[in-house]
Structure 1
């Protein structure tokens, strides 16, 4: 069964010799670019277009048309090619469409050589764009995959080619337009011969603006008949000549339609019967929530799954409670009547009450299981499609991680689940920038067997969890736009902090001792004061030169150890005022250690979001108030993904400097 992709989704390719079929409402130009492992196209010789339609492994059509077939042989590509981007563009011709938003969404499909569709993608959501990267084929661990891209450019081919790193992109875009114009000039009428008819390619400019063409015009198109026995060819030197079946006398579909508008609908699409409605639930699709971007749609979809699970579980619990209360009421009635209290009549009444209870619970569980099955299927589709900031550390998307050029909407803090749906995990996403500070509780948390973990081990695990969150935040932001500082008064966190210090991604070495604590808090407090005064006074340009305005995360280990009253006051100030000006707080602390401060620190704890290094059911949803079990996202044992991600962050930061 073919996969129908949404923007950002990927799919494995079962064959290395494939066709990519482009279908559009109007004539479009099709092409491809060959990029290296950095995603850049180094020279014009790596661009396949109507003026240079063939390169080893790829062949495209020489002209604009409403239907294209691109032949791709991945085994024949140069070894240095790691990505093939398939692009389509609207030709710059009088009478043609001027933007994709004015026509029906084009569609790209990947098929085997036998025509069996592997995956398809309809490029919805386009508006002012005149050129778009539809699909990309990319290498991953020795195998090829396909990804739906849908990245559009309002400034056309020049902007598209520039974005791919191509030098002299405007010059090449002009060459492509000239080649398309030459292809249109070659599209001449072909006389009939031996009872067979041919049709010329559709004009670059599309139908006449008035809606008709003169009879006998070179752009008259043979109206399609039954498409089941008519192959459609494109690509290669003779792409302008598509064979059609012999005209049959009396067949109205076989007669030409002079004076009518040109019909660009693919013959196999025009006459096909509408698909039968699918039986059972609709298969879930990643990114099918509302939103302007895939990032936003996935974010909304995850929270929709969270809400659906909360409400389904609430309905199940309510049904079970009703069954319990009904059984108790029926048993009370049996016991209240002396005639039915004893004997076989009483036993039968009690058995009937318990049977009704079991039936109600079974019905409620069946409904919950149905909802869980649908949510599980959705989770299995959504999880692989998540971007790095939303993904678990074991998601393969991290293996292709590159530092982004703009931050995402949110970041994953961990997973949530409920007792009734133990295998199902829902990502806990926090919007960026963080509006609340975070607190990793290093205090004792009862384990599933009722015991308590080792205190020293728990403190190390809490700081390790903080390091993973810091790494995720660093990876989610563009190079140089997010910094991490650490306060470790006793220096006890060196082993857990090693990934950050060894990669060189910290804004400075971890601060130790009372002097180090005072220095870091003093600098951050001054930064918050200066930015607040500038913003409130409308004088942002008056800030001191060299003031670091990037966002910062301050990790404080074993709070309040090493903090005096002045330092505690500054920390509370940063927790309250820092997020608004880009300073965020992450405490690693056991609240019991701060008991000596009494209620002084209660407002601080309440202002932070409590997370735990081990599973704990302490979070409640805003709809029905379930106690959700939170689990941190940990790196799989032995995986080098954390070191590789931090290495990429360090490299990007060095290049920026």
Structure 2
């Protein structure tokens, strides 16, 4: 049974040769882009469109048509290609509609060579868009999968190609349209349905190349009917209905004889969505790829893809591969949840529309007919929600299985404090590429936790909020502040532990000395560069020294005179923990702190505030730039973090040491011993 996809949903592919069929009410232009493991298209030679329809492993239609068929051969796909984005666009020809909202929703379907549909996607909700990325074929754990994308662009081809990161997007789009207008796209007479079906079936059975195909390094089909198939991605939040559009699976093009108008469009999908988390997607290759063995063309197993493997992502080291895999899990969870929420919203809106229609008709408002209509609408809504939940549960099961494999394999910098890796901790000889700040999860998948990893060195300072709104739930006013300090201490200890001895230092400013008990693990182990600074004089001394360090290093770097730094200047990275800000800070100290927050990260000075923003209200808007420059964390679970990609409110949980555990003291003792030997 074919899978009916909604926006963001993915589906496994078990066949090495497939077709992507597009059905629309008006002629559209089909294209595709080929991207590497980081989602980058190598240039115009990575774009297939009617003016240049053939790339290794894929061929698109040579003209505009209401129905298209894109041929894909994964065996012929270059090893460097990890993502194929399928797109469609409205041609810029007289009489063509200016936007997709003016025509019926098109459909993209993935089929085998015999026309059997594997998965389908109806692109509803399009409005002002004239170009759309419909589908994405991508490598996942060594196998290919398909994802319903639905990203539309009101700017047309230019906006779509620019979002792909292609230089000269406007020029490329204009060249495609000009090529179409000059009739450079070929028109090939359509075959009959019976001839086409028997021809392709024979080729799939015998394994022989199809007529006109190039070698394995060439295009999968060189001769094909003039039907173009490019998928598009809906831009609305609502998913498609579960019922497939009648007649669009397995159809041959109805247009495309000699002399048919040609329309070309090149396109590409967004590289993992508008948000850029600076992580390459988890694709298997940074090691030399092993020769691929063609997968048997049999249906995918009912229990899903192959068992997950820790480190199964791109990267030169295991740490980098695990980092990319973790953020790939974050991306998958975001997309799956977005698809589920869209499906639920769509089911609710459709039921409301159907109920409104029932109530608007006096004949069906009362009596058994009205009751039956209402029950039918509610049943359809429940069915759609159940289908969406089943798809989400499938994805969550896969991600949970992956998490259970990945979590135990994480290095100390990425691992929770209860991970056994900390019991065998040794001071590292190299700095890590990232550090774990806590965990992230969504309401629909509460048991599943995704590590929140941030790259090192920290580009932004951190602010642990000691005055979150639910502070009233704590019995004592100071309990939440103490918990915020514990969060800061656990993070500082982690940063010290994951850096080589002597390459990272921690300083503490505690004007009133109120955090002495919370800082005891750091002071007792002797891992601080100096005792916590107290009083106005202590605050001024620490801020003055760090400000001078930032000034000297900046001048040396800008003047190209790094060797001229004073011999006694400590150039190791520093973390300044500021407790109870702004108490004990005069205007000069506040100005210095803002300077460190803005300029410090570039020269190795990082800021960690433990404070309640409301306490700084007396300063008015003076400190607003400071708060905005910091990443806010909370000492208790809170859904204050939102990704700008799909807009989810992620619940953040701090990375605290389990109650009663001695792991923090043991790790800090080893750090202190290594620091002593280093000095």
Distance 1:540 1:480 in 2: 19
Q: How does 1:503-582 map to 2 (within 5 A)?
A: 503-582=525-604
Q: Is the 8 A contact 2:474 2:480 kept in 1?
A: no
Structure 2 CA distance for aligned equivalents of residues 490 and 407 of structure 1: 34
**Corresponding residue for 1:326?**
350
Match of 1:613 in 2: 635
Distance 1:404 1:484 in 2: 17
Which residue pairs with 1:282 in the alignment?
306
Structure 1 consecutive aligned stretches of length 4 or more whose deviation exceeds 6 Å? 274-278
Alignment partners' CA distance in 1, 2:353 and 2:317? 53
The answer to whether the aligner puts 1:304 opposite 2:328 as a matched pair is yes
Q: Does 1:383 align with 2:407?
A: yes
Give 1:354's aligned residue.
Answer: 378
1:293 aligns with 2:340: no
Deviations 1:272-296 (A, max 9, x none): xx99988332100000000000000
CA distance in 2, matches of 1:619, 1:444: 13
| Alignment-derived partner of residue 414 in structure 1 | 438
Q: Distance in 1 between matches of 2:371 and 2:602?
A: 68
Shift of 1:454: 3.7
Q: How does 1:113-152 map to 2 (within 5 A)?
A: none
Partners of 1:431 and 1:565 in 2: how far apart?
A: 32
Paired residue for 1:502, among 509, 517, 524?
A: 524
Unaligned runs of 5+ in 1: 1-273
Residue pairs, 1:215-230, within 5 angstroms:
none
Cα pair 2:427 2:674 within 8 Å, conserved: yes
Instruction: Name the SS for the 1:573 alignment partner.
Output: helix
Shift of 1:451: 4.2
Q: Secondary structure at the match of 1:634?
A: coil
**Aligned with 2:512 (options 487, 490, 495):** 490
- The corresponding residue for 1:478 is 500
- How far off its partner does 1:622 sit? 3.2
Q: Is the 1:327–1:357 contact (alpha carbons within 8 Å) kept by the matching residues of 2?
A: yes
Q: Report the CA distance between 1:406 and its aligned residue.
A: 0.5
Q: In structure 2, what is the equivalent of residue 392 of structure 1?
A: 416
RMSD across aligned C-alpha pairs, in angstroms? 1.6
Kept in 2: contact 1:416–1:630 (CA 8 A): yes
User: Which of 334, 356, 362 is the aligned partner of 1:338?
Assistant: 362
Whole-angstrom CA distance in 2 between matches of 1:425 and 1:444: 22
What's the offset of the Cα at 1:638? 1.0
Give deviations 1:515-561, integer Å, cap 9, x for gaps: 00000000000000000000001111111111000000000000000
Distance 1:405 1:630 in 2: 31
- Whether the 8 Å contact between 1:479 and 1:653 is mirrored in structure 2 is yes
* Secondary structure in 2 matching 1:388: coil
Of residues 463, 473, 481, the one that matches 1:439 is 463
SS state at 1:597 partner: helix
Paired position in structure 1 for 2:275: none
2 CA distance for matches of 1:452 and 1:636?
19
Contact 1:614 1:631 in 2 (8 A): yes
Consecutive unaligned residues of structure 2, counting only runs of 5 or more, are 1-294
Measured after TM superposition, the shift of residue 359 of structure 1 is 0.3
| 1:405 equivalent in alignment to 2:405 | no
Q: Larger Rg: 1 or 2?
A: 1
Q: Closer, same or farther in 2 for the Cα pair 1:362/1:458, shift >3 Å?
A: same
Shift of 1:601: 0.5
Q: CA deviation at 1:445?
A: 3.1
CA contact (8 A) 1:446 1:453 kept: no
Give the C-alpha shift of residue 453 in structure 1. Answer: 6.0
Cα deviation for residue 343 of structure 1 reads: 1.1
TM-score normalised per structure 2: 0.55
Asked whether the 8 Å contact 2:506–2:577 carries over to 1, the reply is yes
1 or 2 for the larger relative contact order (CA 8 Å, sep ≥6)? 2
1:444–1:453 Cα contact (<8 Å) kept: no
**Normalized against structure 1, the TM-score is what?**
0.57
Match of 2:618 among 596, 602, 606: 596
Distance 1:445 1:394 in 2: 29
Is this contact kept in 1: 2:431–2:498, CA < 8 A? yes
In structure 1, how many angstroms separate the alpha carbons of the residues matched to 2:594 and 2:529?
Answer: 22
